[in-house]
Amino acid sequence: MPLALELDSVDFAYQHGQPVLRDVNLEIDAGQFVAVAGPNGGGKTTLLRLVLGLERPTRGRVRVADRERIGYLAQRSQIGLHAPVTVRELVEAGRASLRFVGRLRPEDRDAVDLAIERVGLSALAGRPLTRLSGGQQQRAFIAKALAAEPRLLVLDEPTTGVDVEAQEALAALLDRLHSELGVTILYVSHEFGAVERFVRRLVLVRERIVFDGAPSDLPGVWHDPSHTHA
């Protein structure tokens, strides 16, 4: 399988700060559904920023197969949940990101409709974002990302601020999108319980990668004192 992204011997430290990541080597094949977890301050958010191109490594290389085709769902605290827009307007903005000028064409509007349908919000397409539940808002922002037809979908703490039922529904939605679209998914969170039964690969970050494998192989690794680097 071709690689969706690769980190090769990556170190990272913020200016005049302690190292955040050390000697990180990671390869993710196109089409994989991967959870990246770790404690707060362990480096997982920095890893995400490197993948998105928002930071450059202090040492090593970060390669993304198609950086122009990344769909990104930021943490709820960083997205415009109070913006006076409808679901459709939000998703149209995601589609418009593919174009430098001009109005959306009929095929663009079809793509918007399909993205909204894929996340189960067709009946709410005209509803203001502010009138949606937390779980529905997350679905709307996923639809916005899908409208741009991403090859890599990156989600940062996607279950924060939503109830358990909505977390489970979101995980099931991501599993379905992964199966139907073949999109590579990078699910970054301080915990991975919501998607544990759907992902086959879990990467744990504590300054270094301390575990990379199937979630079923995890017991005994996460709590190993020899791995506490952060």
pLDDT tens, 181-197?
Answer: 999 999 999 878 889 88
Per-residue confidence (pLDDT) for residue 140, from 0 to 100? 94
Q: What is the pLDDT of residues 127-161, one digit of tens each?
A: 999 899 889 999 999 999 999 999 999 999 988 87
Per-residue confidence (pLDDT) for residue 81, from 0 to 100? 65
Per-residue confidence (pLDDT) for residue 25, from 0 to 100? 98
* Claim: this prediction has a pTM higher than 0.85: yes
**135 and 156, same domain (yes or no):** no
71 part of a folded domain: no
73 part of a folded domain: no
CB 147 within 8 Å of CB 111: yes
Domain boundary, last residue among 149, 175, 196: 149
Domain boundary, last residue among 149, 170, 189: 149
**156 and 228, same domain (yes or no):** yes
**96 and 54, same domain (yes or no):** no
Report the distance separating Cα 210 and Cα 204, nearest Å.
6
Per-residue confidence (pLDDT) for residue 227, from 0 to 100? 38
Which residues in the chain come in under a pLDDT of 50? 221-230
**143 and 164, same domain (yes or no):** no
Domain containing residue 99: 80-149
**101 and 40, same domain (yes or no):** no
CATH code, 208: 3.40.50.300
CB 5 within 8 Å of CB 65: yes
**137 and 155, same domain (yes or no):** no
Report the distance separating Cα 36 and Cα 4, nearest Å.
15
> Distance from CA of residue 157 to its chain's centroid?
8
Report the distance separating Cα 146 and Cα 137, nearest Å.
14
Could you give the number of structural domains in the chain?
A: 2
**28 and 137, same domain (yes or no):** no
Domain boundary, last residue among 149, 165, 191: 149
What is the edge-to-edge ordering of all strands in the sheet holding 3-13? 19-29, 3-13, 59-64
**8 and 114, same domain (yes or no):** no
* β 184-189/152-156 pair status: parallel
Report the distance separating Cα 101 and Cα 107, nearest Å.
16
* Furthest CA-CA distance within the chain: 57
**107 and 136, same domain (yes or no):** yes
